[in-house]
Structure 1
Amino acid sequence: MVVNAPTTPPARIRIVGTSGSGKSRLAEDVAARMHIARLELDAVFWDAGWTYRNLEEARGRVRAFLAAHPEGWVADGNWNSRLRGLMEPGTAGGADVVVWVDHPRRVVMWRVLRRTLRRGILREELWHGNRESVRSWLKWEPEDNIIRWAWTSYPGMRRRMEARIAAGDPVLRLRGQREVDDWVRSLAAGPAA
């Protein structure tokens, strides 16, 4: 576990990682344990028909969420280019810590394969009527195939996050499920909502 995070317990937590790393599951667990609000950034930035939501509308939703939950929140998802600094540590209402879920590539790929198969076969709805298509498994472009996206984005995510750690940003790097589970257990349970 690598940490540049403040020594006080975090109240505002941003969770990032490669697709399939377990960001959403971790955010659910953190929100339930700490009794804080959760924001799933995929639901904010994606709209129906796998189109991007209007950028100003999406950013407005993020701002409204931050304003509504100054006491604490957890947000999962990357979306850095669309956030344009919103939620970053050091900004008004921004995260106290960025939690990077950094499982080995083989673990991430196993998880994204299993999840994608389940979603495709069961036709699970993700956000706003969007579903992953079995046909996408045959597409070569990473932007059209979540499995290829997870594979190709993995090294870039690692470079960006290691650079943030080296720069002294408040990043908590969790390597492996044991570190993830230990960290969740270390969080103080908040008052019941």
Structure 2
Amino acid sequence: MILGPNDAVYRRPSRIVVAGTSGSGKTTLSARLGSLLGIEHIEIDSLYHGPNWTPRATFESDVEEFIARPSWVTEWQYHAVRDRLADRADLMLWLDLPRRTVMRQIVIRTLRRRFGRRELWNGNVEPPLHRIFFDRDHIIRWAWRTYPRTAERVRHGSLRRPELTIVRFESHREVNAWIAQRLVPTESS
């Protein structure tokens, strides 16, 4: 069931996946929800990427271990585990932002990470910027090319698991309003 940002979610979630294309803000929202709800945020990229951007051999077993827990929030990605994440989740939040918003965000994020030489996962840093011209899977090119796939995956997931509550957001303003109305306790609560 795909809901809009003004629709009520009838129970407090404890296992949340955040869907969206690369650069949409999945990790930022996941971390924010973990903090607000007091549940663990597991950054799925940190489980997937080993040194030199190689996939970690323990990725799937690490995912199995954390989704068995009673509460968590993570990003909905990686084909090998996407269905398992959705099967265990009790809420999916879908960042269905306009392509121009996603592309602006991913370019800014990539530049900040590259120029800041920020370590991401297991010693990895963003590759040199000139790689965008040669690497078909450079994160900026990847985000552009895969942008339409998220909507297809979410729709497929909603058919595969119709009881999963999915809330679709088309802007950060909608996300912020939803969090303020649905998740932040008020004085009367």
Structure 2 unaligned runs (5+)? none
Output the amino acid matched with 2:73: V
Output the amino acid matched with 1:175: E
Per-residue CA shift, 1:109-160, capped at 9, x if unaligned? 000000111111111111000111123222241x2x1101000000121222
Shift of 1:88: 2.0
Asked whether 1:88 is paired with 2:86, we answer yes
2:18–2:74 contact (8 Å) kept in structure 1: yes
Asked whether 1:78 is paired with 2:73, we answer no
Query: Take 2:28 and 2:170, find their aligned partners in 1: how far apart are those partners?
Result: 15
Shift of 1:166: 5.8
1:42–1:77 contact (8 Å) kept in structure 2: no
Asked whether 1:124 is paired with 2:125, we answer no
Structure 1 unaligned runs (5+)? none
Query: Take 1:73 and 1:84, find their aligned partners in 2: how far apart are those partners?
Result: 15
CA RMSD across the alignment? 2.0
TM-score, structure 1 length as denominator? 0.83
Matches within 5 A, 1:161-176: 161-165=154-158, 168=162, 169-176=164-171
- State the partner residue of 2:145: 152
**Aligned-partner SS, 1:78:** coil
**Aligned-partner SS, 2:42:** strand
Matches within 5 A, 1:1-193: 2-3=2-3, 7-54=10-57, 57-67=58-68, 69-70=69-70, 72-79=71-78, 81-83=79-81, 85-89=83-87, 94-134=88-128, 135-141=130-136, 143=137, 145-165=138-158, 168=162, 169-185=164-180, 186-188=182-184
Per-residue CA shift, 1:52-99, capped at 9, x if unaligned? 111xx21221222233x31x21012411x221632223xxxx100121
Aligned residues, how many? 177
